[in-house]
Amino acid sequence: MSYKTIASIANDLATKKVSSVEITKYYLERIKKFDKDLNSFITVNEDAALSSAKAADALIASGKAHPLTGVPIAQKDIFCTKGIKTSCGSKMLDNFVSPYNASTIDNYNAAGVVMLGKTNMDEFAMGSSNETSFYGPCKNPWDTQTVPGGSSGGSSAAVAADLAPAATGTDTGGSIRQPAAFTGICGLKPTYGRVSRYGMIAFASSLDQGGIFARSAKDTAMLLNVMAGFDEKDSTSVNVEVPDYTANLNDSLKGKKIGLPKEFFNQHLDNSMAAAIQDAIKEFEKLGASVHEISLPHSDLSVPAYYVIAPAECSSNLARFDGVRYGHRCENPKDLVDLYERSRAEGFGEEVKRRIMVGTYALSAGYYDAYYLKAQKVRGLIRDDYKKAFEDVDIIMGPTTPSTAFKIGEKAADPISMYLSDIYTISVNLAGLPGISIPAGFVNNMPIGLQMISPYFKESLLLNFAHQYQTATDWHTKTPEGF
Amino acid sequence: MEWEVVIGLEVHAQLKTKSKIFSGASTQYGAEPNTQACAIDLGFPGVLPVLNKEVVDMAIRLGLGIDAKIAANSVFARKNYFYPDLPKGYQISQFELPIVGVGHLDIMLEDGTPKRIGITRAHLEEDAGKSLHEDFLDSTGIDLNRAGTPLLEIVSEPDMRSAKEAVAYLKVLHSLVRYLGICDGNMQEGSFRCDANVSVRKKGAEKFGTRTETKNLNSFRYIEKAINYEVERQIGVIESGGTITQETRLYNPDKNETRPMRSKEEANDYRYFPDPDLLNLVVTAEQIEKVRKSCLNYHNKNYNVSWKSMA
């Protein structure tokens, strides 16, 4: 399969080799052809896509286009889109059409980027396999018996199968980086506060961050230029200038220090995975960087702390889905309590209910100090671990996941084993740091991801490292057969 | 047996801002139902609160007016409970760290002696909407115009010893918030409303008796009557060998009585936790100074003089 990059499409549009309508139709055709089986999209609105493609073509013709005007991408179905269904992968919002756009959707619209459709995801972004979606599991194009990861599984599968040249995602505990690793593409989770959360349906507000799936570091940088930025509608967004993320891609890595946390190469990691990651790190040594062992001593506490904080916040964030104003409402409620109980029992799936229950418990009188407060203290320790580590190194690397993509159904009945698939990504959310996963080889013909973590707001550095690696290697150009 | 009455008051003063505490929607009273509620007030998916800076200055004004310490750092927390007029399933309030700390108000007793009433704290929060039970047959209407209206909840110490003292305190506070320009004080419209914590104990006893909280008091006359009713009721219960249950009660002005709210309505564990959508509220010394200068004459002592002359 040959694929197109954002950079090449942008170039073809600018030089009028292709029109936005043509390239949009190309992807819509591919979606029609391949997505019945893959199930990476929840909603494809051809008319809306083509009408924005037409508008983009007019803008290009008028000479007033942004570098990405007319480029089509897919949006995770967690971002509210005015006039087009936003389901968040849930029966609860199967009938929900937002009256407003998420701020990031506005950003993409303002740049003239075309939306192909809304991608499949774990329900309310709770899951690591896309199996909790009300719309059914999405498949991994590298092996359709396996999961594409989650929660942004639809976005990762769509980009891996070239049903879209890029897509957005959200990452609360690894929901961009883990699916990117499982499907052999790039996935960037920016610094908490770099990308607006307004209109991005909340799972765990202090951890959620929107980001990008693309083929290459360069494509990711081009999209981040559009997606990132301060938003006065989001009090947690940070007013830091948005640099041109493509500007430092070609910087030399000579003299840069890479830290390898010994805790990331532990008993959870497959041996063949460990070897592949070590190979990838050798490439960076060839590029002039030096490698140092470091320690993040509280790493083993990140999963337990996360599974207190994230459910606690979700139990409160999801209280608004009560059947009163929008979303699913049960038939013929006999009174108020019945309305609440049945609407929520029918509208939410099992994993969402599990987390609401856990979170409600963790915040309850008598348990708050033992669970929520303690988890927040652990979060502080994890943040300090990273802070200390970055006094000695420029960037931290390790595997994105402990293994390659698992089989559909394999972990669905075992939540703890599912939760552990995010063991290397979760601490990055707890610390609020930026992280990226890039393709770094294969184990048993399945792609693996190298995770890189930088200090706050140093996305440019992550993209610089990623681009240099992709200049020296070709893992990111590999595509699954049959698409 | 001689009984001593102990009263503490929680006043909700609606702040006189043009827009809501966390959204740009209007706070104008009396509009058609649900015409002044935006997506944020309606608790739509993905929306986020942004603090209206004006309410902070207003809270500082009150703090200065009651000689209180103003917190350099206060925290908005979520108070979680389900109710149809509470769109998000939680109310954004302040819990452990309120913006206004310990202060006091001086009142004058009937015999002309002054008395100082302690104020425990005052915190910022959003109001809920209204459930309209009477207007519809077999169903309840929800009006969310009021949802997100800014409130300052002012909590007194249990320093008042009679209904008359409670009313005297409320009248001083009522004039103060109007004088400071932070609340229109319209009690009929609910802009200034009060819950009364009432208990009785034997004269000379050190320990407080068990208290009840009476809600829904929106006129000085009703407050006095409700407290007096509650005092008589509690003394009656104790004297006939019973004990007082700690509970929330509602005052019914038509019957001039209080009755307990159904236990379901109050059996809540609110699961407070800091709202992750909002940053800590930071108030600088400069900001306090700026507000102080803008309302120099509102200072408590000067103010009381003016209130006395008004009275």
Domain boundaries, chain A: 6-255+395-477, 300-376
What token pair was written down for A41? 């999209």
Residue B110's pLDDT is 83
Q: How far is A371 from chain B (nearest CA, A)?
A: 12
CATH class of A6-255+395-477: alpha beta
Q: How far is B211 from chain A (nearest CA, A)?
A: 21
Q: Could you give the CA distance from residue B104 to residue A460 in angstroms, rounded to a whole number?
A: 54
Residue B306's pLDDT is 39
- Angle, vertex CA A134, rays to CA A132 and CA A139, nearest 5: 60
Residue B305's pLDDT is 39
Chain B residues whose CB is inside 8 A of the A100 CB are 39, 44, 47
pLDDT band at B299; cut points 50, 70, 90: very low
Task: Name the active-site residue from A19, A151, A196, A343.
Answer: A151
Q: How far is B35 from chain A (nearest CA, A)?
A: 15
Chain A interface test: which of B271, B272, B277 (most A C-beta within 10 Å): B271
For residue range A142-187, what is the model confidence (pLDDT) as tens digits? 999 999 999 999 999 999 999 999 999 999 999 999 999 999 999 9
Residue B80 is nearest to which of A197, A234, A319, comparing CB atoms?
A319
What token pair was written down for A452? 């890189």
Task: List Cβ<8 Å contacts ≥24 apart for B286-290.
Answer: B287/B56, B287/B57, B287/B60, B288/B60, B288/B63, B288/B64, B288/B70
For residue range A276-303, what is the model confidence (pLDDT) as tens digits? 999 999 999 999 999 999 999 999 999 9
Is the Cβ pair A363, B271 closer than 8 Å? yes
Q: Are B115 and B103 in contact, with CB atoms under 8 Å apart?
A: no
Chain B residues whose CB is inside 8 A of the A90 CB are none
Determine whether A403 is an active site residue. no
Q: Which DSSP state fits A268? A: T
Mean pLDDT across chain A: 97
The stretch B201-206 carries a mean pLDDT of 94
Q: Are A293 and A260 in contact, with CB atoms under 8 Å apart?
A: yes
Residue B45 is nearest to which of A80, A234, A368, comparing CB atoms?
A80
Chain B residues whose CB is inside 8 A of the A102 CB are 46
The stretch A352-357 carries a mean pLDDT of 98
pLDDT band at B309; cut points 50, 70, 90: very low
Mind giving me the DSSP string for B61-90? HHHHHTTPPBPSEE-EEEEE---TT-TTSE
pLDDT band at B267; cut points 50, 70, 90: low
Residue A320 is nearest to which of B48, B49, B87, comparing CB atoms?
B87
Q: Which residues pair with A146 in a beta bridge?
A: A407
The stretch B222-227 carries a mean pLDDT of 96
CB pairs under 8 A between A and B: 100
The stretch B164-178 carries a mean pLDDT of 95
Task: Name the active-site residue from A20, A76, A343, A437.
Answer: A76
Determine whether A76 is an active site residue. yes
pLDDT band at B300; cut points 50, 70, 90: very low
Residue B310's pLDDT is 35
For residue range B118-167, what is the model confidence (pLDDT) as tens digits? 999 999 999 999 988 887 888 889 999 999 999 999 999 999 999 999 99
ipTM value for the complex: 0.96
Is the Cβ pair B51, A235 closer than 8 Å? yes
Query: Is A2's pLDDT higher than 90?
Result: no
Determine whether A151 is an active site residue. yes
Report yes or no on whether pTM surpasses 0.90.
yes
Residue A434's pLDDT is 98
Q: Could you give the CA distance from residue A411 to residue A413 in angstroms, rounded to a whole number?
A: 5
For residue range B206-218, what is the model confidence (pLDDT) as tens digits? 999 999 999 979 8
Which is nearest to B279 in space by CA: B79, B124, B49, B41?
A: B49
Is the Cβ pair B273, A206 closer than 8 Å? no
Residue A198 is nearest to which of B43, B48, B89, comparing CB atoms?
B48
CB under 8 Å to A61, separation ≥6 — which residues? Answer: none
Type of residue found at B74: S
Residue B263's pLDDT is 59
Residue A325 is nearest to which of B47, B87, B90, comparing CB atoms?
B87
pLDDT band at B115; cut points 50, 70, 90: very high
The stretch B275-279 carries a mean pLDDT of 98
The stretch A447-459 carries a mean pLDDT of 98
Which is nearest to A217 in space by CA: A184, A243, A186?
A: A186
Residue of B nearest to A87 (CA): B45
pLDDT band at B304; cut points 50, 70, 90: very low
- Angle, vertex CA B220, rays to CA B217 and CA B221, nearest 5: 95
Q: How far is B97 from chain A (nearest CA, A)?
A: 15
What token pair was written down for A387? 């802070």
Which is nearest to B102 in space by CA: B155, B57, B42?
A: B155
The size of chain B, in residues, is 311
Task: Name the active-site residue from A40, A129, A133, A175.
Answer: A175
- Kindly report which listed range (A131-140, A145-154, A379-388, A405-414) carries the lowest average pLDDT score: A405-414
The more confidently predicted of residues A239 and B138 is A239
The stretch A464-476 carries a mean pLDDT of 98
The stretch A433-444 carries a mean pLDDT of 98
CA dihedral (B199, B201, B205, B211) positive or negative:
negative
For residue range B246-262, what is the model confidence (pLDDT) as tens digits? 999 999 999 999 999 86
Is the Cβ pair B273, A98 closer than 8 Å? no
CA distances from A455 to A384, A391, A473, B96 (A): 12, 10, 25, 32
Query: Is A332's pLDDT higher than 80?
Result: yes
Q: How far is A83 from chain B (nearest CA, A)?
A: 14
Q: Are B50 and B191 in contact, with CB atoms under 8 Å apart?
A: no
